[in-house]
Amino acid sequence: MTEITVAAPARRTADGTGPYYQPVGNEVEVFTAAFRSRRAIMLTGPTGCGKTRFVEAMAHQLGVPLHTVSCHEDLSSSDLLGRYLLKAGETVWVDGPLTRAARHGGICYLDEIVEARQDATVVVHSVADHRRELNLERHGAERIVAHSDFCLVVSFNPGYQSVLKDLKVSTRQRMVTVRFGFPPAEAEHEVVVRETGVGPDEAWALVLFAQAVRRLEHGRLREAASTRTVVAAAALTSQGMSTFDAGMAAMVRPMTDDADEEAGLAAMLETYTARR
């Protein structure tokens, strides 16, 4: 059976205020309006720019459970809808995360949806459009009309996925789209300091390095320096590592295995960190 990640309520920070998210545009307003008008939502943007954190924060703000599914090539429609399982000697039906969210309310977040099998993608059509319903053929042809607090959210990275893994127009047109990019330097700096407690100077060094890398012609680089990697480097710095060493471990080396590229990025990093 395919393993999936299902989270229940959106996780809270230690002070109970919920996951921290720094808005950079009108994404909060668009998400809220889509949720209240019962529209499905598609988030697009580069890896590590904050899409998942945004969904966590919105689930907390709206006061609804969050069911997260990390999609992959083996994910099938049964993983989303449910299946019969053997429990205590009996065969019982167990709802999948999409069915649970539709039945009881909450956000079902399909992260990197284009990685899932086609049958898993197609199954969201009826719940993403005006019908807002699921048909469980394997469970006695049960028909579920989605709860008023149900919301389907999907995400993917158009720049990373191949053309063959793009979403069909028929799927995309069922959803309100929010496009994400990496935040401006000031907003990213605030996120890094807030998330890690690192000093403002060290945070600026890492943020400015990341911004410089994103302006490069990436060539063979797997990814640009994401906000996620900046936060990771800052977290290492907050534990006593030098900013340079933390940036190498969390930002430079994940981007490339090429020795010449690594050396070039290391030289750039050094100019920003001055080996703090």
Compute the distance between CA of residue 142 and CA of residue 152 in angstroms, rounded to an integer: 20
> Tell me: the pLDDT tens digits for 81-114?
999 998 888 999 999 999 999 999 999 999 999 8
- The full set of domain ranges for the chain reads 27-179, 185-273
> Tell me: the pLDDT tens digits for 130-185?
999 999 998 989 999 999 999 999 998 886 544 446 777 888 889 999 999 999 99
Which tops the pLDDT comparison, 110 or 223?
110
Q: How confident is the model at residue 1 (pLDDT cuts 50, 70, 90)?
A: very low
The CATH architecture assigned to 27-179 reads 3-Layer(aba) Sandwich (3.40)
Q: What is the mean pLDDT of the chain?
A: 88
* Single pTM value for the model: 0.86
Compute the distance between CA of residue 155 and CA of residue 111 in angstroms, rounded to an integer: 5
